[in-house]
């Protein structure tokens, strides 16, 4: 039996399916159209920028670092460019060791280069480009370039390197450049966005001294290049260039020839000297001995040199002028005398009998070899350096009054000099002791502890910068300009010189007649006192004060005997001085560690500094040799004219650059120009 088809029903079903399919297709096209509209219209600008970014690479251009000059235009830090062989570990197709071994067949790679690269690899990241070998010669560059296809992830780059033409001279005040480490990279994350952007492409920054403290002034402004790239990332053509702006030139107040002379006078001895202009706070010499060669750090210092510097008993990396703290010894006495005059505890004519010792309770505080000076007034107490006078004065004043009177001179606090890392020092008080010690019995101040403070011993510990700054404050009648190393900044574009402003502290209310008493007493030190022989024949008048400070404590029932002590345990030699007497233009503080009496080692250096600064004299070779041995008093031999003495490294000052450097080399000239 044949079933009849229901045509009408099937047509209805067919139409329904067609409509459903059409609706589905229409919905699909609508979604595609909506997405197309979203991408082409709504997201047009964003996607266009992304496409352009894929096509264009923006490469940072690191600027030339600014020069550092001394006050007379001598170049202390400059730049040169050289070729480097660099590896990006993540892009290497072979093992790192195998790649380096193959490269060593084309380019000389020393064990030092390998050690330095290994250290950089530990500090950095595998996707960063790291230098394996610096200062490639043109021949080495040519050999590698011909074989470059064999070494993916290896390339030759031209990089800027810092150069210090004078080597070790002034290294602590100039500082050095070094590769940015991980801690510094993390600290940079807190910088504002503009400053972070300016350091893109920068691998090296200042680490110490002026290089560190004036980093942003010296760095310059980073430029960029827009380069069109292929899909594979290969540069096709340069689209746009914005050249970098070199860093500005920093001009110091330091006279580097004076600095070099003082460092030569120290010889192999340890110590520090700070010389200042009391009229404006300019630092004229900032010496720390021993020194180091900052050029060792430019490429990344190797393990052997680092160990030698870091583990040396002489601590050549310690900036003794900035961070070395010492008991001031008798150089503290002029400030104690000023405090006595200010507070009325003593007047200049009051006489104290010095019998050679001071008894406090059951303890005897000694004087010079237990020899008394007899009746002593304030003038004679400074000229002859009476200990008993200042033992009794300290006992009368008490520790807190001493602290309150001497702290405004800058003792026990940072001076605010314009480089980082300054030590605070210690000017004790009862409050200081409560804060410093933990156990209750240690927190108490005992009256006997006050006595030795009067002669600059006990807890007293200051830097030579603080002592020189205090002397400048006294000489200027209480004016307190901030001590500073940078005199001005020269704009690299406009060439305009901008004096650097340094914030002064409010002046102290010192009475001129009190200042004159101290100055005259210190003048007496050079005429009839402890440094008479050193300043014999000087054609100018100066003031000074010798000091001898204990490096180790001598027991009450023992006598000091340098011959029985190891060299590092002997007394320190100090001298505090200024010149000329009537209108001082220079004040200094100097310490020669473990060198004994102040007049024997420190004072002769001060005399030669004054001869240089006031007379333009440079000591004879025989005089330098005698002073280095600690066997000089007044200068011997015929002095030379300072302007005739060349600086060490004169060939570098003449513009010499390592032979491997490409043509884009140092900025500026390297000749000395007096002004």
Q: What span, in angstroms and rounded, lies between the C-alpha atoms of 469 and 483?
A: 7
Cβ neighbours of 591 (radius 10 Å)? 33
Based on the number of CB atoms within 10 Å of its own CB, is 352 exposed (0-12), middle (13-18) or buried (19 or more)?
Answer: buried
What's the 3-state SS for 143-177?
HHHHCHHHCCCEEEEEEEEEECCCCCCCHHHHCCE
Residue the block writes with tokens 């001009």: 251
String of DSSP letters for 625-655: HHHHTT--SS--SPPEEGGGSPPTTHHHHTT
String of DSSP letters for 579-606: ESSSS--EEEEEEETT--SHHHHHHHHH
Q: Where are the alpha helices (DSSP H) in 374-446?
A: 378-383, 387-397, 399-406, 430-436, 440-443
Q: E-assigned strands of 53-169?
A: 56-61, 68-69, 75-87, 130-136, 154-163
Based on the number of CB atoms within 10 Å of its own CB, is 332 exposed (0-12), middle (13-18) or buried (19 or more)?
Answer: buried
Q: For residue 132, give the 3-state DSSP assignment.
A: strand
User: Does residue 30 have a cis bond before it (omega within 30 degrees)?
Assistant: no
Residue 363 bridge partners (DSSP): 360
Q: Provide the token pair at 230.
A: 């292929």
Catalytic residues: 330
Based on the number of CB atoms within 10 Å of its own CB, is 667 exposed (0-12), middle (13-18) or buried (19 or more)?
Answer: middle
Cα torsion angle, 303, 308, 309, 311, sign: positive
Q: What span, in angstroms and rounded, lies between the C-alpha atoms of 599 and 117?
A: 50
Residue the block writes with tokens 């004169």: 650
Residue 161 bridge partners (DSSP): 80
Q: Provide the token pair at 667.
A: 């900025």
Q: Are 532 and 544 in contact (CB under 8 A)?
A: no
Based on the number of CB atoms within 10 Å of its own CB, is 100 exposed (0-12), middle (13-18) or buried (19 or more)?
Answer: buried
User: Does residue 545 have a cis bond before it (omega within 30 degrees)?
Assistant: no
Q: Are 134 and 82 in contact (CB under 8 A)?
A: yes
Q: Provide the token pair at 373.
A: 């000076």
Q: What span, in angstroms and rounded, lies between the C-alpha atoms of 72 and 643?
A: 11
- Of all helices (H) and strands (E), which one includes residue 572? strand 572-579
Of 470, 453, 469, give the one whose Cα is nearest residue 461.
453
Q: Are 464 and 321 in contact (CB under 8 A)?
A: yes
């Amino acid at each position: 039996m044949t079933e009849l088809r229901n045509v009408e029903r099937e047509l209805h079903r067919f139409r329904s399916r067609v409509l459903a399919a059409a609706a589905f297709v229409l919905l699909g096209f609508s979604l595609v159209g909506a997405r197309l509209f979203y991408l082409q219209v709504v997201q047009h600008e964003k996607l266009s920028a992304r496409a352009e970014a894929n096509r264009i690479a923006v490469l940072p251009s690191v600027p030339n670092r600014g020069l550092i000059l001394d006050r007379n235009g001598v170049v202390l830090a400059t730049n040169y460019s050289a070729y480097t062989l660099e590896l990006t570990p993540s892009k290497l197709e072979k093992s790192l060791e195998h790649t380096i071994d193959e490269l060593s067949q084309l380019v000389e790679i020393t064990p030092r280069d390998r050690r330095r690269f290994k250290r950089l690899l530990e500090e950095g990241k595998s996707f960063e480009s790291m230098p394996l070998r610096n200062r490639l010669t043109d021949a080495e560059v040519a050999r590698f370039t011909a074989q470059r296809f064999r070494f993916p992830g290896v390339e030759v780059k031209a990089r800027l390197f810092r150069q210090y033409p004078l080597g070790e001279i002034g290294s602590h005040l100039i500082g050095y450049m070094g590769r940015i480490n991980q801690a510094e990279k993390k600290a940079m994350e807190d910088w504002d966005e503009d400053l972070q952007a300016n350091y893109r492409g920068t691998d090296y920054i200042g680490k110490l001294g002026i290089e560190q403290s004036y980093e942003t002034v010296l760095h310059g402004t980073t430029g960029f290049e827009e380069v069109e790239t292929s899909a594979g990332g290969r540069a096709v053509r340069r689209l746009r260039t914005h050249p970098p702006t070199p860093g500005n030139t920093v001009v110091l107040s330091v006279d580097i020839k004076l600095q070099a002379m003082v460092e030569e006078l120290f010889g192999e001895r340890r110590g520090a000297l700070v010389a200042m202009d009391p009229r404006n706070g300019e630092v004229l010499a900032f010496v720390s001995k021993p020194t180091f060669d900052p050029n060792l750090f430019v490429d990344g210092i190797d393990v052997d040199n680092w160990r030698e510097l870091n583990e040396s008993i002489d601590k050549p990396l310690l900036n003794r002028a900035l961070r070395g703290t010492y008991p001031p010894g008798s150089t503290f006495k002029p400030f104690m005398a000023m405090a006595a005059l200010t507070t009325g505890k003593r007047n200049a004519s009051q006489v104290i009998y010095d019998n050679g010792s001071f008894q406090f309770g059951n303890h005897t505080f000694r004087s010079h070899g237990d020899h008394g000076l007899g009746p002593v007034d304030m003038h004679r107490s400074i000229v002859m350096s009476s200990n008993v006078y200042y033992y009794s004065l300290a006992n009368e004043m008490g520790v807190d009054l001493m602290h309150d009177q001497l702290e405004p001179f800058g003792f026990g606090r940072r001076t605010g000099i314009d480089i980082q890392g300054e030590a605070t020092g210690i000017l004790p008080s009862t409050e200081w002791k409560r804060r410093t010690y933990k156990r209750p019995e240690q927190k108490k101040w005992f009256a006997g502890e006050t006595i030795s403070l009067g002669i600059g011993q006990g807890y007293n510990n200051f830097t030579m910068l603080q002592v020189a700054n205090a002397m400048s404050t006294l000489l200027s009648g209480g004016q307190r300009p901030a001590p500073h190393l940078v005199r001005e900044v020269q704009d690299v574009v406009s060439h305009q010189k901008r004096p650097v402003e340094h914030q002064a502290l409010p002046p102290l209310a010192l009475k001129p007649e009190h200042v004159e008493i101290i100055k005259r007493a210190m003048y007496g030190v050079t005429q009839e006192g402890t440094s008479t022989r050193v300043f014999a024949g000087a054609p100018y008048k100066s003031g000074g004060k010798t000091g001898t400070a204990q490096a180790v404590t001598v027991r009450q029932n023992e006598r000091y005997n340098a011959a029985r002590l190891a060299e590092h345990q002997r007394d320190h030699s100090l001298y505090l001085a200024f010149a000329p007497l009537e209108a001082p233009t220079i004040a200094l503080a100097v310490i020669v560690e473990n060198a004994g009496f102040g007049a024997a080692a420190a004072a002769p250096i001060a005399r030669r500094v004054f001869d240089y600064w006031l007379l333009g004299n440079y000591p004879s070779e025989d005089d330098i040799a005698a002073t280095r041995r600690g066997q000089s008093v007044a200068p011997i031999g015929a002095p030379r004219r300072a302007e005739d003495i060349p600086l060490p490294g004169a060939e570098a000052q003449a513009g010499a650059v390592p032979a491997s450097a490409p043509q884009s080399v140092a900025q500026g000239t390297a000749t000395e120009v007096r002004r």
